Structure 1
């Protein structure tokens, strides 16, 4: 598959490496000379330019890309790039860093396929490790696993359950939970699950469709299609 990643910084470059190791075609878009040089030294195809400009994304091959990951530290660039990619029919993954901007950009969640929070998820993994938890740091996750953020819909079978009542497949674990428009946290057993709540799940690729049916309420056909997209996604957090 073909992927365009906006940003060759820490998050974007790592995502590119993972995708390339799995045999995918990756093009990076970056405007910082130092990062362009580093990515090219690693034999990546790099388009030197502003990822929020349509002509730059077209030069990167957005028209033929399967997905675009807007993974810079600039949320405005990420959102603009996602809208351009969406216009070209690509699957879109948008990175958000600053918690205080989340509420604003949640309004546009329907405009992108996935919103990811690398720093927040890394902090959750570190907190869990410090508290003696069993979930390893995200950087250590095996390549056959995927980390996804899912939003509960009305039709989700778990709507109305508590976290203590939730039963996932054997190869799936909850990493974080957030009520609608609230920060992601490590969940407690008495948290209720309602429409708009978000769950960050670590799951084996083969379990993703079952997890999506359970937590999102997708049909088997939808869940299989979306799980397949996630399995070829942008660095594991989406």
Structure 2
């Protein structure tokens, strides 16, 4: 799938990295030269310019994008980018900050496909909103630590295994477990992992891809149900 992300700050860049690791095509649009160079140093395709301008969005490939994530810290830029993206038929994800009033949220919520709070969801939450999937961000604990909820799928390598047989990377720990349709709780080591079951995991950002592969399986490129941020 193809994505355009407006904003190459902390969340925008991390979101782009997550999508690229899953094999997707990502282009960043950023006006700040320092952030542009940082993203290019990480071998991303970057267009330098104002994310609220249609000509710059077109240069970034908005006409062919499956989804556009407006992840800058500027609400007006984000909204303008989403309205242009909507005109081009792309899914629209808009960042707002947590201190905006509820009436501001309601005003914009009807105009875009999804609103995200990056302070709550981080890069994985932004990725979920753009792509959808079987992993849901719950909280950022520190710069490199995140709590996520993952669902067991048909493609999961551990489907049918017990929790005690689950071998995650050293920087990942299972915090809770829930059978499909039931609340999560303290994991029982003898519980079997079946389709739709959920695992809540604390993991370092660097190993999230490995954790997802182990629990969810290779779901890149497939249609997924949405679970869903310089």
TM normalised by structure 1 equals 0.56
The question of 1:105 aligning with 2:105 is answered yes
Q: TM-score, normalised by structure 2?
A: 0.58
SS state of the match for residue 106, structure 1? helix
32 and 54 in structure 1: CA distance in 2 versus 1, 3 angstrom threshold: same
Q: Does the residue aligned with 1:20 lie in a helix, a strand or coil?
A: helix
Distance 1:98 1:61, change over 3 A: same
Inter-CA distance 141–59: structure 2 relative to 1 (3 Å threshold): same
Judging by fraction of residues, say which structure has more strand: 2
SS in 1 for 2:100: helix
Checking the alignment, whether the CA contact within 8 Å between 1:68 and 1:92 is kept in structure 2 is yes
SS at 1:228's partner residue?
coil
**Alpha-carbon separation, structure 2, partners of 1:59 and 1:136:** 33
Deviations along 1:176-215, one digit per CA (max 9) or x if unpaired, are xxxxxxxxxxxxxxxxxxxxxxxxxxxx869xxxxxxxxx
Aligned-pair CA distance for 1:114 = 1.0
What CA distance in whole angstroms lies between the structure 2 residues aligned with 1:87 and 1:74? Answer: 20
Kept in 1: contact 2:139–2:148 (CA 8 A): no
Q: Which residue of 2 aligns with 1:90?
A: 90
- Per-residue CA deviations over 1:23-57 (Å, capped at 9, x if unaligned) read 10000000001000100111100000000011110
Partner residue of 2:198 out of 164, 171, 181? 171
Report if aligned partners of 1:96, 1:102 keep a CA contact under 8 Å in 2: no
Number of the residue aligned with 1:228: 224
- What secondary structure, in the 3-state scheme, does the structure 2 residue paired with 1:81 have? helix
C-alpha contact 2:29 2:51 (8 A) present in aligned 1: yes
Q: Which has the higher helix share?
A: 1
What is the rounded CA distance, in whole Å, between the counterparts of 1:135 and 1:73 in structure 2? 19
**Structure 1 residue 103: Cα displacement:** 2.5
Unaligned segments of structure 2, at least 5 residues: 123-137, 152-180, 184-195, 201-214
For the residues of structure 2 that align with 1:47 and 1:117, how far apart are their CA atoms?
Answer: 24
Higher relative contact order (CA 8 A, sep 6+): 2
CA distance, structure 2, for counterparts of residue 10 and residue 135 of structure 1:
16
Change (3 A) 1:87 1:19: same
Q: Distance in 2 between matches of 1:54 and 1:19?
A: 24
Unaligned runs of 5+ in 1: 123-133, 147-165, 174-203, 207-224
Paired residues, what number? Answer: 154
- State whether residues 149 and 199 of structure 2, in contact with CA within 8 Å, keep that contact through their aligned partners in structure 1: no
Structure 1 partner of 2:40: 40
